[in-house]
Amino acid sequence: MSATIDDPRVIEFDVRTDEMLVNMGPQHPSTHGVLRLVLRTDGEIVSEVTPHIGYLHRCAEKIGENLTPRQWIPYTDRMDYLAAMNMNLGWALAVEKLLKYEPPERGRHLRVIIAELGRIASHLVGMGAYGLDLGSFSPFLYAFREREKILDLFEEACGARLTYSYLTVGGATADLPAGWLDRCEQFLDQLLPIIQEYHTLLTSNAIFIKRTAGIGTMSREMAIDYGTSGPVLRGSGVDHDLRRDGEEIYTAMYDGYAFEVVVEKDGHYPQDHDYPPVPQEAELGDCWHRFYVRMLEVMQSIDLVRQGIDCYRTTSGSHGEPMKLTQKLPAGEVYLETEAPRGQMGFYLVSDGDSIPWRVRARSSSFCNLSVTGPLCAGCLIADVPAIVGSLDIVMGEIDR
Amino acid sequence: MSGQTLVDQLKQKFGDLITGANLDNIDPWIEIAPGGILEVCTHLRDEPSLAFDYLNSVTAVDYLHADEKKAAKASWEPHLELVYHLFSMQHKHSLVLKVMLPRWQDEQPGRLPEVASVSSVWSTADWHEREVYDLMGVQFTGHPNLTRILCPEDWVGHPLRKDYEMPLEYHGIRGR
């Protein structure tokens, strides 16, 4: 059979590509857990990305309807398992909002110390894993080395390394052990110079900039429209951080603390440390900016932990008595969002006056952040898909709940 | 703006579509008729003095006592509640909307209650409404892609309903 030039099978005159569906995941090193992406590709160009989620779905909300709030704390650990402390805190505060309970001063500072350490640990993983997504292996090891030390501190405080159930309704399950604050300070002193190492490895690395700057740019309007939050939202230049703009019960925790929201304003970030400058190729809202916001937040959190340690040392009294396991809840409903490392984690609780809530709902930040993948990846290269998904820094345990 | 002023303003504009409000709860809410949600939400987003440009969450609550004794004592009739949590980036204020729905459309078990989708107002609603459809069984009309999101496509039932029963078996996996 002779082929003619009109025959679509003839390709030697011009490389013709066919549309192809590529399955990425659910088991793929750069999908951060069990996320399946279906890419519609034409050659190297991706025209459509459809995320499929739910592989880790446990219906945690249904479980919450059968347990008392304190019994449900361990389930919040397993949502964002890289920032379990912040999940505990979010749920504890939501229940406290319903109970109209105010934790004692010492407990408040303890929570700030722990929550901000959790943020550092989470951002370190986010940073290391992002390097891994882009094919750079070493930052991952550097990040995990430092994170391990935070886990050691957490282990000393509550006995667990990953699923803590430490911050709980009413306060915390235990006070910080003797000498813990000194060890924490030592760690911070040691971490500070290492941040520069991370910047050399990634932030100002020429290849890293090439892979992330100008890729996956999300406008301010789009970030708000899709309900993104945390570093993803601030990376697009939206000046919003619940630690400053949240509800009173949450912002009261940070009363007296000095910090500036990490966001680009008038073309520069509001920090006075010597950071690598924003490269020329980068535009606001791209993968590089999302990454950069996270890196600056590590510095911000180090500062907040230091302030917390000072406040904790100067206050005396109780760190907060955990609420009774089967205490009756007042009837009513509350919704509270807190600033978890990955964004705004919200908990909604409906109570009919029993000790077990009528309805529990977890609004996941990563869930909303992931929903932008489709529009962000349309028209990009296949190799940019991991760069974009990685820059959102998602955790599947929280998305699937 | 106080809650009462907002309710009055909305009542003046939308009349019967605003069916009630509870301003005594910790998070006060306004109740919207099922037919008016799209109209009211568009107004809440576009009115400059309100500017609710950020949708935190869409969720639903099932009110049903599986136990008949408890059902007799309950202060409410069985129904579904849709809950919308809104926020304004510009004014930094928040609002809760509620829509009351029957548990089944036309009292026919198996027919999902219907309400207009607000995914054209906020893109956040796209995935959140899919989740509500998946777990609670609410049909959002006008939604671009109303498919299950957390459960597998061939899952039967809506797990967060109070009368949901775990399947005995799913593709050879024992359920109970």
ipTM score: 0.89
The answer to whether residue A148 sits within a structural domain is yes
> Residue A272: is it exposed, middle or buried by C-beta count within 10 angstroms (0-12/13-18/19+)?
exposed
Residue A38 in any domain: the answer is no
For residue A16, being part of any structural domain is answered with: no
What gap in Å lies between CA A14 and CA B152, rounded to an integer?
Answer: 42
Owner of token pair 């992330």? A212
Position A107 in a domain:
yes
| Nearest of A242, A105, A94, A85 to residue A173 by alpha carbon | A85
- What span, in angstroms and rounded, lies between the C-alpha atoms of A263 and A241? 9
- Residue B12's domain comprises 3-174
What token pair was written down for A228? 């993104």
pLDDT at A8: 54
- Cβ B57 vs Cβ B126: under 8 Å: no
* CB < 8 Å to A53, chain B: 149-150
Whole-number pLDDT of residue A12: 52
User: Quick one: A199 exposed, middle or buried, by C-beta within 10 A (0-12, 13-18, 19+)?
Assistant: middle
> Residue A362 corresponds to which amino acid?
A
Residue A154 domain flag:
yes
Out of A17-21, A303-307, B115-119, pick the least confident: A17-21
User: Tokens at residue A88, please?
Assistant: 């505990």
Is residue B103 predicted with pLDDT exceeding 50?
yes
B34: exposed, middle or buried (Cβ count in 10 Å: 0-12, 13-18, 19+): middle
Q: How many domains does chain B have?
A: 1
Give yes or no for residue B71 having a pLDDT over 80: no
Average pLDDT, chain A: 86
| Bridge partners of residue B61, in order along the sequence | B81
Of A226, A337, A401, the CB nearest to B56: A337
Predicted local distance difference test score (pLDDT) of residue A3: 41
Question: pLDDT tier at B67 (50, 70, 90 boundaries)?
Answer: confident
CATH number of A233's domain: 1.10.645.10
Task: Tell me the residue range of the domain where A385 lies.
Answer: 51-400
Structure-token match 């999101």, residue found: B149
pLDDT digit string, tens, across residues A314-370: 888 888 788 888 888 898 899 999 999 999 999 999 998 888 999 999 999 999 999
User: Which of A53, A224, A335 minimises the CB distance to B85?
Assistant: A335
CB A177 within 8 Å of CB A156:
yes
Residue B73 clears pLDDT 60, i.e. is over it? yes
In terms of Cα–Cα distance, which of A203, A182, A187, A176 is closest to A146? A187
For residue A272, the model assigns a pLDDT of 59
Please indicate, yes or no, if residue A156 is contained in any of the structural domains: yes
Q: Is the pLDDT of residue A1 over 50?
A: no
B124/A368 Cβ within 8 A: yes
What's this model's pTM, rounded to 2 decimal places? 0.88
pLDDT at B104 over 60: yes
Residue A9 belongs to a domain = no
Give how many domains chain A has, as a whole number. Answer: 1
| Chain B residues near residue A337 by CB distance under 8 angstroms | 56
Mean pLDDT of chain B: 87
Q: Could you read off the pLDDT of A84-138 as tens digits, one per residue?
A: 999 999 999 999 999 988 888 888 899 999 999 999 999 999 888 898 888 888 8
For B:22-61, CB contacts with A below 8 A are: 25-27, 53-57, 59, 61
Say yes or no to pLDDT of A305 above 90: yes
3-state DSSP call for residue A116? helix
Please list every residue in chain B whose beta carbon sits closer than 8 Å to the beta carbon of residue A222: 123
- Tokens 């639903």 locate to B60
Rounded average pLDDT over A212-233: 90
CATH number at residue B127: 3.30.460.80
* H/E run at residue A392: helix A384-392
